[in-house]
């Protein structure tokens, strides 16, 4: 520690509660200017990170300038006195395997970044300038308003944002909670100027008023020792941030008083959804982290087991799902909410549903808090904290900095987990707030469209109708609170809580990746014992290959519906396991179905076998079937209202993948599907199958072999006449190969969003180490310039992506822009950008180029932080059937030999305009207001032009005449799965 540093630290807090497995070191500091800092020293980390949180958010926006706090967040990134260049910060970070972001919430704003560990000092130096000397230049101000505006346009037709603003707009007039937080060009520029306010002056004023060190908190995570990390605070002048001695703002008044409560708000959604959310104003419980009384309450109301509110609502056929939870909305007030997704039938029974909810709450009130429920929750939380996975550094820095605003140093890591105190009196007190007169209901359905008395929420234009709930209805709710219901009762004690945490006997064979321990005509089994994370955890995943699932749209629909029914019928019996940290997921894939079980190892094999048995042995009644089928149909229909970038990805897939069913195709076959078909489907699926299994974690080879045998036996006994797959029944998916020089455009005219989107794909070819690595490097080199040029300088859109796309054994480079500008113009600007970025790469000094390569290598070599993340990497290799477990090492070896000329050579061969082997596909999703006639003119012109730009007029066009790419050869020499078609069994 330097002498200079002694003067910046006012107080040290060395004792910080941490998990038993946690080897990082922590130190809390309060600096002389009031910033509270948590330092985290982790010599093993391969990323360093930092976050700074300021206790100012959009509730502090001046009423005449909605969105100012958010705008200020955007502007801080764009140049400081010490580093005036607008993209200096992002440029530095991307050059060193880093990234950054920020967000503005109601009462705080959080800035965070991560970077290669040896570059932490340089990143901190640039970061701290935001709070020492931001520039807020004139030119950036005007442009960045457009970025905020474009961000708002993206949210404009998004139901989640719309519902939130409806909730806010119903607050007491004049309460800060009712403000519009994002802001847009109208609020920040046009309206401001009309009122004689210059936005830049307002920004400066806002920053001057609120960005005070005494309401800032910070977290820094690095490889360095705590003393060295501490010295950075002095070197980079954290203590020089201005202390304006601000008082922390706390809202003493709730946003909803008697006048706003007892009301029902009907809301018309964009998507076809039906839901009720019932909210109760609740106190700010941040300070009660040792007892978390709200957790007790939401655990019971949101329970999904036998006797729960959800269980009964499902039996009645009224709901799809239910959640309950508590949030602190801003310092001083919170909200307890029960959210229910309704079935069609359920929409007709809103009152009865609410009565049932009050029956359940009434039961909790009259039976009083139960200590055993609290103890069970406390035990589960304690185990979670003991064996907590390591967090990703940037996410951790951001969370901890935010938490430090209100939580003492000692508890800053443990506060979300440990429940040390039981406070029955407080639970009772809070339960007594869950009463009809303290409630507000929001009911969402398209059937309210155009009903008499509707008005529009001013910011998003959402159609709503606010009515006071009649006294008769309120009376019914009150009575429900005092009435018991025969079907409702508290849950049983949880049998799934893990008790054994020892490491299993160590394997003699050591391997860095999964080993094949069995391969026959029925199954392929992979296993690896974990010796890296040393947690009592495990992951088990099985892929059941049954080609019938993708045979036809009807079969695909049936498999999805079957999975939905299955998951639903398993939900009740497996809920306790889920609460106890034993999770499962079921998903359908092109090849069949997959099941993943994760969590504590002790009861995992048992649970996997139990679930496999249930795959083909579950009952579903007609009522429930109707609800689930209806919800699947709605999901399929609602896809059309998705964000343009979601649609562009969907259409790209439909255009280039050899066999892919569209949502409309699946909808078209819905009529032909009945309950009996779904019940039969499970067994039909098993007529011919192959099982691939991976177990990774605290397990042994012997246990895994036994598990695979048991699973095969279970599957065979479910369908006694089943047989192994023939080899030619299982075919990998392939992608359509455009011709060299092709440039196709597919257009979709959507009718929901004002913004449009352009997604350009440059096909590179079948994956191979060289192309994968060089394209990865090109992607890395163009990401920051794409953001800087297309988003910041040209304001083409708020969403700008570049990515390498691995699909069906091929690799491609993709660039995506979503925004308000004409999409044909954006398409041209992407082309111009490619030319300018090529020049940038050509002119890049050798040293910088080498830095970029080593930055990318560091990124690739980053260790997965958790056993689950490591598992996912292994599984990806198995799922694509390339089994290249040393992929990263190969990429790294190759990158070490790459020269700039190699990068330019590939760029000039496959990406640059006019390149000999360029294969370009642009999917354009037009904004809803784009002029149709003009679009048709463009199409006509392109068609007449002939060769150069070809408009794809229908989705199936390309597959009519283009060839398919092959698949890369698997890295491990294995015989294909199943049996030889000419040999029989």
Say if CB 594 and CB 543 are below 8 A apart.
yes
Q: Are 490 and 297 in contact (CB under 8 A)?
A: no
Nearer to Zn ion, 104 or 277 (CB): 104
For the CB of residue 106, give the shortest distance to Zn ion in the complex, in Å: 15
Supply the minimum distance, in Å, between the C-beta of residue 104 and Zn ion: 7
Give 857-862 contacts, CB < 8 A, sequence gap 24+: 857/892, 857/895, 857/896, 858/46, 858/96, 858/97, 858/116, 859/97, 859/780, 860/776, 860/888, 860/891, 860/892, 860/895, 861/46, 861/888, 861/892, 862/46, 862/47, 862/97
CB of 109 to Zn ion, least distance (A): 10
593: helix, coil or strand?
Answer: strand
Within positions 127 to 186, which residues make up the interface with Zn ion, using CB under 5 A?
Answer: 151
- Concerning whether 573 is annotated as a catalytic residue, the answer is no
CB nearer Zn ion, residue 110 or residue 708: 110
Cα 172 to chain center, whole Å? 33
- 810-844 core/surface letters (b: 16 or more CB in 10 A; e: else): bbbbbbbbbbbbbbbebbebbbebbeebbeebeeb
On the CB side of 453, how many CA atoms lie within 13 Å of its CA? 8
Q: How distant, in Å, are the alpha carbons of 494, 517, 589, 891 from that of 972?
A: 44, 14, 23, 17
The least CB distance from residue 146 to Zn ion, in Å, is 12
Binders in 659-678 for Zn ion, by CB under 5 A: none
Cβ distance to Zn ion smaller for residue 151 or 794: 151
Q: Measured between alpha carbons, how far is 694 from 894 in angstroms, rounded to an integer?
A: 29
Site residues for Zn ion, 384-413, by CB under 5 A, read: none
Would you state the structure tokens that stand for residue 102, as one six-digit string? 């920020």
Intra-chain end-to-end CA distance of the chain, in Å: 74
Considering beta carbons, is residue 151 or 539 the nearer one to Zn ion?
A: 151
By beta-carbon proximity to Zn ion, the closer residue of 75 and 378 is: 75
CA-to-CA distance for 858 and 756, rounded, in angstroms? 36
Helix ranges (DSSP H) in 133-158: 138-156
* Residue 394 or 778 with smaller CB distance to Zn ion: 394
- The number of residues that bind Zn ion (CB under 5 A) is 1
Q: Which residues make Cβ contacts (< 8 Å) with residue 468, sequence separation at least 6?
A: 262, 263, 264
Distance in Å, CB of 509 to Zn ion, minimum:
51
The Cβ of residue 365 has, within 10 Å, a number of other Cβ atoms equal to 17
CA separation, residue 224 to residues 4, 21, 46, 221 (Å): 19, 20, 12, 9
Q: Catalytic one among 73, 304, 539, 703?
A: 73
Is residue 917 within 8 A of residue 743, CB to CB? The reply is no
Angstrom distance (rounded) from CA 480 to CA 363: 10
CA-nearest of 398, 423, 403, 427 to 413 is 403
Residue 205 has a CB neighbour count (10 Å cut-off) of 14
Q: Which two tokens stand for residue 869?
A: 């993340």
| Of 154 and 212, CB closest to Zn ion | 154
Least distance (Å) between residue 843 CB and Zn ion: 32
Residue closer to Zn ion by CB (options 86, 151) is 151
- Nearer to Zn ion (CB atom), residue 147 or residue 322: 147
By three-state DSSP, how is residue 795 classified?
coil
**CB 924 → Zn ion: shortest distance, Å?**
25
Beta bridge partners of 592: 545
Calculate ∠ Cα 488-490-495, nearest 5°.
130
The nearest distance, CB 74 to Zn ion, in angstroms, is: 6
Closer Cβ to Zn ion, 151 or 743, answer by number:
151
CA distance 842 to 246: 50
Shortest Å, Cβ 355 to Zn ion: 42
Q: How far is CA 601 from CA 75, 379, 583, 608, in A?
A: 48, 17, 11, 11
User: Is 179 or 805 the residue whose CB approaches Zn ion more closely?
Assistant: 179
Which residues are catalytic, by number? 73
Where does this chain bind Zn ion (CB under 5 A)?
151
């Amino acid at each position: 520690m330097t002498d200079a540093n002694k003067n910046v630290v006012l107080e040290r807090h060395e004792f910080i509660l941490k998990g038993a497995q946690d080897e990082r070191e922590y130190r809390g500091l309060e600096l002389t200017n009031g910033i509270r800092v948590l330092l985290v020293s982790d010599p093993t980390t391969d990323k360093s990170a930092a976050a700074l949180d300021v206790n100012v958010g959009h509730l502090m926006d001046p009423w005449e300038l909605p969105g100012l706090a958010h705008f200020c967040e955007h502007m801080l990134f764009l140049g400081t006195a010490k580093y005036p260049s607008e993209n200096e910060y992002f440029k530095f970070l991307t050059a060193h395997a880093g990234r950054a972001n920020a967000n503005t919430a109601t009462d705080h704003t959080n800035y965070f970044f991560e970077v290669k560990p040896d570059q932490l000092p340089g990143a901190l130096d640039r970061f701290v300038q935001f709070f020492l000397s931001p520039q807020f230049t004139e030119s950036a101000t005007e442009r960045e308003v457009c970025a905020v505006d474009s961000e708002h346009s993206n949210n404009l037709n998004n139901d989640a944002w719309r519902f939130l603003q409806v909730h806010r707009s119903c607050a007491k007039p004049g309460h800060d909670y009712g403000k519009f937080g994002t802001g847009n060009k109208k609020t920040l520029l046009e309206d401001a100027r009309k009122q004689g306010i210059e936005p830049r002056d307002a920004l400066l004023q806002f920053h001057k008023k609120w960005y005070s060190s005494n309401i800032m908190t910070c977290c820094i995570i690095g490889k360095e020792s705590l003393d060295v990390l501490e010295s950075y605070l002095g070197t980079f002048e954290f203590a020089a941030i201005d202390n304006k001695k601000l008082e922390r703002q706390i809202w003493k008044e709730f946003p909803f008083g008697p006048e706003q409560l007892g009301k029902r708000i009907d809301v018309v959604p964009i998507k076809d959804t039906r839901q009720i959310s019932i909210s109760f104003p609740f106190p700010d419980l941040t300070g009660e982290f040792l007892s978390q009384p709200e957790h007790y309450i939401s655990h019971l109301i949101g329970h999904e087991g036998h006797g729960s509110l959800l269980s009964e609502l499902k039996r009645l056929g009224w709901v799809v799902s239910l959640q309950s939870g508590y949030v602190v909305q801003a310092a001083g007030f919170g909200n307890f909410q029960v959210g229910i997704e309704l079935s069609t039938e359920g929409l007709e029974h809103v009152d009865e549903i609410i009565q049932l909810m009050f029956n359940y709450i009434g039961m909790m009130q009259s039976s009083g808090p139960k200590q055993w429920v609290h103890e069970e929750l406390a035990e589960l939380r304690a185990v979670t904290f003991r064996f907590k996975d390591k967090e990703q550094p940037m996410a951790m820095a951001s969370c901890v900095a935010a938490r430090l605003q209100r939580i003492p140093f000692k508890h800053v890591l443990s506060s979300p987990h440990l429940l040390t105190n039981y406070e029955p009196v407080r639970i009772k007190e809070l339960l007594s707030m869950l009463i009809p007169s303290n409630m507000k209901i929001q009911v969402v359905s398209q059937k309210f469209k155009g009903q008499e008395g509707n008005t529009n929420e001013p910011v998003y234009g959402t159609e709503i109708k606010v009515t006071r709930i009649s006294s008769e209805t309120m009376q019914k709710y009150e009575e429900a609170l005092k009435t018991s219901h025969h079907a409702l009762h508290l849950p049983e004690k949880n049998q799934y809580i893990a008790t054994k945490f020892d490491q299993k006997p160590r394997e003699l064979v050591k391997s860095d990746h999964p080993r094949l321990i069995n391969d026959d005509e029925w199954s392929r089994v992979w296993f690896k014992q974990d010796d890296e994370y040393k947690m009592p955890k495990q992951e088990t995943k099985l892929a059941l290959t049954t080609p019938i699932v993708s045979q036809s749209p009807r079969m695909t629909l049936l498999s999805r519906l079957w999975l939905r029914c299955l998951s639903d019928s398993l939900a009740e019996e497996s809920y306790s396991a889920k609460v106890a940290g034993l999770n499962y997921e079921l998903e359908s894939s092109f090849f069949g179905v997959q099941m993943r079980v994760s969590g504590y190892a002790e009861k995992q094999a048992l649970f996997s076998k139990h679930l496999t048995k249930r795959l083909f042995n579950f009952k579903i009644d007609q009522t429930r079937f109707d609800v689930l089928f209806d919800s699947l149909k709605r999901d399929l229909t609602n896809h059309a209202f998705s964000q343009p970038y979601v649609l562009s990805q969907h259409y790209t897939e439909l255009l280039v993948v050899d066999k892919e069913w569209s949502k409309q195709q699946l909808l078209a076959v819905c009529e032909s599907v009945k309950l009996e078909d779904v019940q039969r489907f499970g067994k039909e699926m098993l007529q011919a199958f192959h099982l691939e299994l991976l177990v990774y974690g605290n397990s042994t080879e012997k246990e895994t072999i036994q598990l695979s045998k048991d699973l095969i036996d279970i599957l065979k006994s479910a369908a006694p006449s089943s047989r192994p797959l023939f080899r030619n029944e299982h075919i990998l998916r392939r992608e359509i190969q455009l011709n060299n020089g092709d440039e196709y455009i597919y257009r979709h005219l959507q009718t929901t969003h004002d913004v449009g989107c352009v997604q350009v794909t440059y096909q590179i070819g079948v994956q191979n180490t060289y192309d994968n690595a060089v394209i990865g490097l090109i992607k890395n080199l163009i990401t920051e310039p794409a953001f800087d040029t297309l988003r910041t300088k040209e304001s083409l859109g708020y969403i700008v992506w570049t990515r390498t796309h691995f699909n069906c054994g091929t690799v491609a480079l993709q660039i995506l822009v979503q925004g308000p500008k004409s999409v044909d113009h954006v398409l041209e600007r992407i082309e111009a950008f490619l030319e300018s970025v090529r020049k940038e790469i050509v002119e890049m000094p050798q040293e910088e180029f080498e830095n970029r390569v080593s930055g990318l290598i560091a990124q690739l070599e980053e260790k997965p932080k958790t056993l689950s993340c490591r598992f996912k990497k292994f599984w990806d290799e198995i799922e694509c059937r390339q089994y290249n477990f040393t992929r990263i090492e190969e990429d790294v070896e190759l990158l070490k030999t790459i020269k700039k000329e190699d990068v330019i050579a590939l760029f000039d061969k496959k990406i640059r305009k006019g390149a000999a082997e360029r294969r370009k596909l642009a999917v354009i999703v037009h904004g809803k207001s784009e002029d149709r006639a003009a679009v048709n003119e463009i199409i006509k012109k392109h068609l007449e032009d002939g060769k150069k730009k070809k408009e794809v007029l229908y989705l199936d066009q390309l597959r009519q005449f283009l060839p398919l790419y092959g698949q890369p050869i698997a890295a491990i020499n294995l015989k294909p799965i199943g049996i030889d078609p000419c040999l029989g069994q």
